[in-house]
Structure 1
């Protein structure tokens, strides 16, 4: 049984994480999907839960009200809620595509006179980490909540989510300065490998959550683009380790 509720008071990815965690803690709640733009939460229940019970588990700043129930649809169709999300994916991911384009072009320009694939990849990875960690640094308080929603290690070790932006910064500097590159490559495989496992599970479960790759400053949905972004870095790390 699915119901859509309107939730007032949500302002960022941290709010989404809090709402999903709180509502998901209730017995008989099997799934929670939150849409920040529409201020809506789609809750799947095995047994009906009263509105007052839902409100009780939420923080005081959030107010929940019931909308219309979502009818079951055939397995090869999508609800209007899902279709609207799909249509807006490209627009929402535009900042991510632009950042990756700038990083790629910059890395090419640094070596176009004396081309080297290895040097290009090292600079790409270094700039990737520095730029992405910068956006995470903008909200060090809110980022851990968003990151813990899908990263397996961050869920079990909360402090890992707090230090993750600093890990990315350190890796970026190691690549750009060509300092202990092999160690940086191994750490990259471990760190991004763990995150990719969480991203893959989120995509397979079709959960509508925010990606924390650019922190909470930019509201990016968790999509296949997040998986591809991590996969590119992992492939580069493997190629350099075996070359």
Structure 2
């Protein structure tokens, strides 16, 4: 690896030669080249060496420091990572809010005569209705986004077109308690397929838009997408276990 440092205290060719000699003697340093006009030294090393090690190897008249540009780059890189994480959270905020409201509504519908089965049916029904609503806002754009990661939609484009209507139908089936066993099996199939695509996308570290809330809200594909599908799949399995 190669790094450039600023060195103060050098005034002549003798200083140049001395700094190069002292730094070259440090274990791990393969070469040290001083640019006297710029007051810099370029150090090639086999492994990272701390600035303190360089300073201890030099006489007191020389002071070696990180280049301002490299310090700025490190600072910018750190700030960018923080902003990226903050931005991702801000982008996912609508998803978290929707899940929160769906959960709250499902609890309020059943709190007087609590029943876990009824709660889960209401949660799944509201989940499908709300999520299908956002997909309906852009029926032309949604299929293209959905085909980016859903395996079945990639092979059968028409499936991506009718998917919002499938979600609406499933939502109504859960809310009015109509053929719920069939709705649960369909949930396992369609969300299971989608989750396979989501998992592959996350493992491949691809940066694509999640179509779970359509195209109106530009949500990134993250672990949150996997978790929301997993919640529905687990609920479907629990309900099927109780019914069958």
Judge same fold: TM > 0.5, yes or no: yes
Distance change >3 Å, CA 189–CA 81, structure 1 → 2: farther
Q: Compare CA radii of gyration and give the structure with the larger one.
A: 2
1:25-40 paired onto structure 2 within 5 Å = none
Root-mean-square deviation (CA, aligned residues, Å) is 1.6
Secondary structure of the structure 2 residue equivalent to 1:110 = helix
Match of 2:134 in 1: 135
Distance change >3 Å, CA 104–CA 122, structure 1 → 2: same
Match of 1:179 in 2: 178
- The number of residues matched between the two structures is 166
Q: Is 1:155 equivalent to 2:161 in the alignment?
A: no
Find the aligned partners of 1:135 and 1:127 in 2 and give their Cα distance.
Answer: 13
How far off its partner does 1:88 sit?
1.3
Find the aligned partners of 1:186 and 1:212 in 2 and give their Cα distance.
Answer: 22
Match of 1:146 in 2: 145
Distance change >3 Å, CA 150–CA 80, structure 1 → 2: farther
Find the aligned partners of 1:85 and 1:148 in 2 and give their Cα distance.
Answer: 26
Distance change >3 Å, CA 87–CA 230, structure 1 → 2: same
CA deviations 1:142-162 (Å, max 9, x no partner) are 000000000000001000000
Secondary structure of the structure 2 residue equivalent to 1:218 = coil
Find the aligned partners of 2:85 and 2:114 in 1 and give their Cα distance.
Answer: 39
**4+ residue stretches of structure 1 with deviation over 6 A?**
78-83
Match of 1:9 in 2: none
Structure 2 residues without counterparts, runs of 5 or longer: 1-76
CA deviations 1:19-74 (Å, max 9, x no partner) are xxxxxxxxxxxxxxxxxxxxxxxxxxxxxxxxxxxxxxxxxxxxxxxxxxxxxxxx
How far off its partner does 1:89 sit?
1.1
Distance change >3 Å, CA 111–CA 195, structure 1 → 2: same
1:46-125 paired onto structure 2 within 5 Å = 84-125=83-124
Secondary structure of the structure 1 residue equivalent to 2:213 = coil
Match of 1:214 in 2: 213
Bigger relative contact order, structure 1 or 2 (CA pairs below 8 A, ≥6 apart) = 1
Match of 1:75 in 2: none
